[in-house]
Amino acid sequence: MAEEEGFEKAHHHEEEEGEKKKKEMMMSPWEQHSAVISIPRYDYNAPSSLLHHSLSGFLITCTIKREKSATKEAISILDKYVGSCSNADSGNLDNSDDNAAAKRRKICPEDVQDGETETASNNSGKTGGTCLSPVMPDTNLDRGHVLSLVKLTRSGLLLFTFPRNTPADTVGIVSNIMESVESGISKSPLWCHRIFPIQETCSLNEKELQTVVSKLVFQFMNDKQHKVSHPVKFAVGYNRRGIEETELKIVKDTSNGSDKFALLDRNKCFGVVAAAVKSAVSDSVVDLKSPEFSVLVELLPLSGVPNASLVVAVSVLPQNLVNTKPRLCIKALVSDSKAKGGKH
């Protein structure tokens, strides 16, 4: 009798396992992936770090009111090219998780509600949690390196940053992602529209911006992979993302005539960046139609920082990563026709 009961239990367990595997096979790859990926908590130390240090990372545009799905999707994409992905409470590298990452995926405690209407601007949570996956190590980074998820004040945006002093070829990573999508090796993302590779960040003031731009232009020109003509043709793009005209007026009214916010003016910022490029490459001219490299400046709408503290992300990008029409910007991961289904 006992043997029969044991046989029935084993048979029942096998049936359950079979049903589970059958259900997984019926799920789409993305559904299977989303079932094991959970949203990491925000790193609330990151905004303060951005005020005092230059960081690299990725600024991602996504469908509004789908930030939760976009975050999961972004993690799955970046995992393949960056390695392990985490919000890293201390902001330091944690190589002790390498072996664990190779064996299993650690699920991160979610920091948002289940409803998809929860946006990036009103998500709340506490620091903590990691998100590691058993992926092949990137050529530029070890799996011990981690990314922080930074809270922003605007919907439709995601910001991931590397810890301080972490070497990362963000431009190369985004280039590989785009090539994979364009060649059909990877499917087009559903929620993430554009991934802007952040080479460096700085405070929005003339001195720091000129220093960062000159440095990045020098690096670009010294890279033998980039073939340029003479004079070198370049373009400048400036996106005050998240700063509405009413907010600009408030900032200017409270500045008491100070030039601290002068670079919020597009023409002023363009002039500063162009001068920095000229100082790095004297034989250079502005060409908005077919630039050989583009300097893109993105204002970051950071949460939890004083209104007077403005931080920008800066990158010098080759022509294959940008579109010049209808405006200068990073190329989209999906075609415009596919992206029309959601606001972005």
* Per-residue pLDDT reduced to its tens digit, 49-81: 999 999 999 999 999 999 999 999 999 999 888
Determine the pLDDT at residue 40: 80
Of 96, 78, 202, nearest in space to 140 by CA = 78
**Above 50 in pLDDT, residue 15?**
yes
Q: Average of pLDDT values for 260-281?
A: 92
Determine the pLDDT at residue 20: 57
pLDDT over 90 percentage in the chain:
48
pLDDT band at 11 (very low <50, low <70, confident <90, very high): low
**Above 90 in pLDDT, residue 132?**
no
| DSSP conformation letters of 245-270 | HHHHHHHHHTTTT-GGGGGGSHHHHH
CA–CA separation, 261 and 42 (whole Å): 28
pTM above 0.95, yes or no: no
Long-range contacts of 173-176 (CB under 8 A, 24+ apart): 173/58, 173/78, 173/81, 173/82, 173/138, 173/140, 173/197, 174/58, 174/321, 174/330, 175/320, 175/321, 176/81
Comparing 91-100, 198-207, 228-237, the range with the smallest average pLDDT is 91-100
Tell me 283's DSSP state.
S
Angle at 168 between CA 165 and CA 169, to 5 degrees: 145
Helix, strand or coil, per DSSP, at residue 216: helix
Determine the pLDDT at residue 334: 76
Extract the tokens encoding 45.
């130390």
CA–CA separation, 224 and 229 (whole Å): 13
Name the one residue in this structure whose structure tokens are 């670009």.
Answer: 220
Torsion of CA 47, 262, 299, 310, to 10 degrees: 10
Of 292, 146, 316, 158, nearest in space to 237 by CA = 316
Angle at 248 between CA 122 and CA 158, to 5 degrees: 35
pLDDT band at 25 (very low <50, low <70, confident <90, very high): low
Exposure string over 212-222, b if 16+ CB within 10 A, otherwise e? bbbbbbeebbe
CA–CA separation, 343 and 222 (whole Å): 39
Helix, strand or coil, per DSSP, at residue 201: strand
Comparing 26-35, 159-168, 200-209, 312-321, the range with the smallest average pLDDT is 26-35
Comparing 65-79, 102-116, 197-211, 268-282, the range with the smallest average pLDDT is 102-116
Q: Could you tell me which residues are beta bridge partners of residue 201?
A: 313
* Per-residue pLDDT reduced to its tens digit, 236-267: 999 987 565 545 555 555 555 556 688 888 89
* Per-residue pLDDT reduced to its tens digit, 287-335: 999 999 999 999 999 998 887 789 999 999 999 999 998 899 999 997 6
Could you tell me where the beta strands, DSSP code E, fall in 127-245?
Answer: 130-131, 148-150, 157-161, 192-198, 200-203, 232-239
Determine the pLDDT at residue 52: 93
Please, what is the average pLDDT of the chain?
A: 76
**Above 50 in pLDDT, residue 133?**
no
CA–CA separation, 259 and 264 (whole Å): 10
Strand-by-strand arrangement of the 232-239 sheet: 200-203, 311-318, 293-300, 232-239, 284-286
pLDDT band at 175 (very low <50, low <70, confident <90, very high): very high
